[in-house]
């Protein structure tokens, strides 16, 4: 019997995109699949759209609005697969994505996780341009996290394929987190594996530039969720290796958060500054476009950041985010 793959899809008000996501799951070349959609109290037509796809392979569950992590945990409890594939309701899988990763893992890598190439798009996957990143390689777990955190690289949820044994070792999604709940979850997944196996032809399409997404919110609660998720990641990592290199990666990650946070939340910034020093400090410079760097040399990065936040500059100062902490989640504003 070929291994069963559970494709788990949390959904909240994703009516414009859901059919495309479900179609990409149903049309996988690896057909031994089950698809579990958990609608998290949508107020648009998402539930009706999901139910129109219901079949022997696709199950729809409706729950009151509780959040993306709760929806994913609900789906995970129902999943029967030997492998788990997460898919946000606005993202898309290439038709052979699952099959390519199954082929890589099922021979003798049951204690490994598979990652894959991904690219951003706004309207149609044909817009996506796949540009290699440092994470696009086979790596040991701690090396992978250090690379991701030092360079601010990411791997969004749909890019992974995870053996159920590793899912069980990693544990459930943390339902107390909002921003970066996926980053904290996949940190545990990575550390629960022996190695990350990169599959260059296992492609996924990550929809960006959605208005109202959680990754664009900058509320105090969102900032504190991000900070707490980073602290949890640090704790998970230090349980396996507390060294100069891991402490520097954690300090650099916090320093980047400090730059992003400024000039908001002064009390939180102070706590982060203290934590950075306790980790040994960071020499990470603010990252931005050439215009940002030029103005920062003249005005200082803090004033330049204030100008950016006040929208007094007519062109974007900072480069489009490369990502961060695995993923800038779109669907966990559920």
Angle at 282 between CA 279 and CA 287, to 5 degrees: 140
User: What residue ranges of the chain are covered by domains with CATH 3.90.550.10?
Assistant: 5-210
Phi-psi domain of 133 (left: phi exceeds 0; alpha: psi -120 through 50; beta: other) = beta
- Long-range CB pairs of 309-316, under 8 A, 24+ apart, other chains included: 309/263, 315/291, 316/289
pLDDT (tens digit per residue) in 221-262: 999 999 999 999 999 999 999 999 999 999 999 999 999 999
For residue 319, pLDDT beyond 80: no
pLDDT (tens digit per residue) in 181-215: 999 999 999 999 999 999 999 999 999 976 554 44
Mean pLDDT of the chain: 90
pLDDT bracket for residue 287 (50, 70, 90)? confident
For residue 316, pLDDT beyond 70: no
For residue 315, pLDDT beyond 80: no
SS in 3 state form for 193-233?
A: CCCEEEEEEEEEEEECCCCCCHHHCCCHHHHHHHHHHHHHH
pLDDT bracket for residue 109 (50, 70, 90)? low
User: Which one is predicted more confidently, 130 or 211?
Assistant: 130
Q: What global pTM score does this model have?
A: 0.90
CA distances from 274 to 99, 269, 298 (A): 47, 9, 28
Write the class of the CATH domain 5-210. alpha beta
- Residues 165-172 have a mean pLDDT of 97
**Three-state SS at 49:** helix
């Amino acid at each position: 019997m070929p291994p069963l793959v559970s494709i788990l899809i949390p959904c909240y008000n994703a009516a414009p995109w859901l059919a495309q996501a479900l179609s990409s799951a149903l049309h996988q070349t690896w057909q031994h699949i089950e698809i579990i959609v958990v609608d998290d109290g949508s107020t648009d037509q998402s539930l009706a759209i999901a139910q129109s796809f219901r079949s022997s392979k696709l199950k729809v569950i409706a729950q009151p609005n509780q959040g993306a992590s709760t929806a994913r945990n609900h789906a995970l409890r129902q999943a029967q697969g030997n492998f788990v594939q997460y898919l946000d309701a606005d993202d898309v899988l290439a038709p052979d994505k699952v099959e390519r990763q199954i082929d890589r893992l099922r021979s003798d890598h049951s204690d490994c996780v598979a990652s894959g190439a991904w690219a951003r798009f706004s309207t149609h996957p044909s817009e996506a341009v796949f540009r290699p990143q440092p994470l696009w390689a086979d790596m040991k777990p701690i090396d992978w996290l250090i690379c991701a955190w030092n360079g601010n690289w990411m791997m969004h949820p749909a890019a992974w394929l995870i053996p159920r044994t590793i899912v069980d070792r990693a544990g459930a999604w943390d339902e107390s987190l909002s921003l970066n709940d996926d980053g904290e979850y996949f940190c545990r997944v990575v550390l629960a594996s022996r190695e990350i196996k990169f599959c260059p032809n296992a492609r996924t399409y990550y929809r960006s530039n959605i208005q109202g997404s959680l990754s664009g919110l900058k509320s105090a609660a969102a900032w504190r969720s991000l900070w707490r998720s980073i602290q949890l990641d640090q704790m998970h990592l230090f349980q396996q290796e507390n060294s100069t290199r891991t402490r520097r990666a954690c300090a650099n990650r916090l320093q980047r958060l400090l730059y992003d946070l400024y000039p908001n939340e002064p009390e939180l910034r102070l706590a982060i500054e203290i934590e950075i020093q306790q980790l040994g400090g960071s020499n990470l410079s603010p990252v931005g476009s050439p215009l940002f760097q030029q103005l920062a040399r003249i005005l200082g990065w803090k004033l330049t950041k204030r100008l950016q936040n006040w929208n007094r500059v007519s062109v974007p100062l900072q480069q489009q985010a490369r990502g961060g902490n695995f993923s800038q989640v779109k669907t966990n504003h559920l």
